[in-house]
Amino acid sequence: MKSWMTPVVGFALFLPATAQESTIKVDVDIVNVLCSVRTKSGGLVSSLKKEDFTLFENGQKQDIKYFTRETDLPLTIGLLVDVSVSQERLIDVERQAAYQFFSSVLRDKDLAFLISFGHEAELLQDYTNSRKLLQKALNELRSNGQVGGLHPGPVPTASQPRGTILFDSVYLAASEQLKGQVGRKALVVITDGVDQGSRYKIEQAIKATQLSDAIIYGIYYVDSAFYNGGYGWGVNIGGGGGEHDLRRMAEETGGRMIKVDRKHTLQDSFREIQEEMRSQYALGYSPANGSKDGSFRKIDIKLSDKDLRAQARKGYYAGGSTE
């Protein structure tokens, strides 16, 4: 593996020496929106047609030029696994469930990559369709949390331990791995949602994901024994901390957060994500406002059946950068 340093963020992403170079990239003025539709009871609906959708940008109706169901589009999945100290005892379960997920969801035209993150981010496997390579990478998941320690240099958060760079990892996966790729793109993030030491803020991680036309599925997985045992260093998990941040990243990009508990296993969570990915619609349109002014444009999707609910990203940035 070779290391690569991001000058702005200051953390290393370790790239395999055999990283693939044949990835397709596009540069067109089309806004792509992935959308899932559910009934009032939460059931997925996968049989709608183009005329069932009406799409608005900043309140102005847009002409939907492209419409397809998920089976017509390739899928690129980035799995981000939290391997910080707080997640150490969950890694074996995550490894097994993730392999089952990859084995079930990946088809011939799909690709996946794997990133682990704790006090640093590591690309364990670049784009591949090989279950064998993904399993090998999953076997390399190891805790790399850092207890204590300070940021190098005079930064505002220098008094905090650099333990889990969640926001940095999402930012990097979106801006370096997914931006410019074609088809459907998703980041599946397994974590307790606690961020310690990221240089990027949650808003920047969300923006990078929106700019890459990707969605985030957050799997909220907490080792309660770890925090109850007094090793949480005062960090705030639960509804007001990690769970809230993970839910926000997911919902603002068009995905959702799934909580793992005694009645709802990690395998159940992966199964739900798989079902949703296979029940999506892809909508594409050329904005009536063609100005690339970097502004955030709100997206609203209405359905002809008022009893159905559309789940999609809340908007996009019209040009500009991830900064």
Selection from 86-100, 127-141, 230-244 with the highest mean pLDDT: 127-141
Q: What percent of the chain has pLDDT over 70?
A: 79
Predicted confidence (pLDDT) per residue in 196-208, tens digit: 989 999 999 999 9
Residue 242's pLDDT is what?
84
Confidence of residue 69 (pLDDT cuts 50, 70, 90): confident
Give CA–CA dist 134/104, Å, rounded.
Answer: 13
Q: Is the pLDDT of residue 225 over 80?
A: no
CA distances from 151 to 7, 169, 196, 323 (A): 15, 17, 10, 21
In the 3-class helix/strand/coil scheme, how is the chain assigned residue by residue? CEEEECCCCCCEEEECCCCCCCCCCCCCCCEEEEEEEECCCCCECCCCCHHHEEEEECCEEECEEEEEEHHHCCEEEEEEEECCHHHHHHHHHHHHHHHHHHHHHCCCCCEEEEEEECCCEEEEEEEECCHHHHHHHHCCCCCCCCCCCCCCCCCCCCCCCCCECHHHHHHHHHHHHHCCCCCEEEEEEEECCCCECCCCCHHHHHHHHHHCCCEEEEEECCCHHHHHCCCCCCCCCCCCCHHHHHHHHHHHCCCCEEECCCCCCHHHHHHHHHHHHCCEEEEEECCCCCCCCCCEEEEEEEECCCCCEEECCCEEECCCCCC
pTM recorded for the entire structure: 0.82
Provide the mean pLDDT of the chain: 82
For 15-51, write each residue's pLDDT tens digit: 444 443 333 333 358 898 999 999 999 999 999 999 9
Mean pLDDT across the stretch 133-146? 86
Domain spans in the chain, listed from the N-terminal domain onward: 2-23+76-277, 31-71+280-316
pLDDT exceeds 70 at position 170: yes
- Give 89-124 pLDDT, tens digit per residue: 899 999 999 999 999 999 888 999 999 999 999 999
Residue 62: per-residue pLDDT:
97
pLDDT at 7 over 70: no
For residue 323, the model assigns a pLDDT of 55
For residue 10, the model assigns a pLDDT of 36
Contacts of 210 (CB under 8 A, 6+ apart): 252, 253, 313, 315, 316, 317
Q: Looking at residues 152-162, what average pLDDT do you find?
A: 38
Q: What are 261-302's pLDDT values in tens digits?
A: 889 999 999 999 999 988 899 999 999 998 888 899 999 999
2-23+76-277: what fold?
Rossmann fold (3.40.50)
The predicted model gives 211-237 an average pLDDT of 72
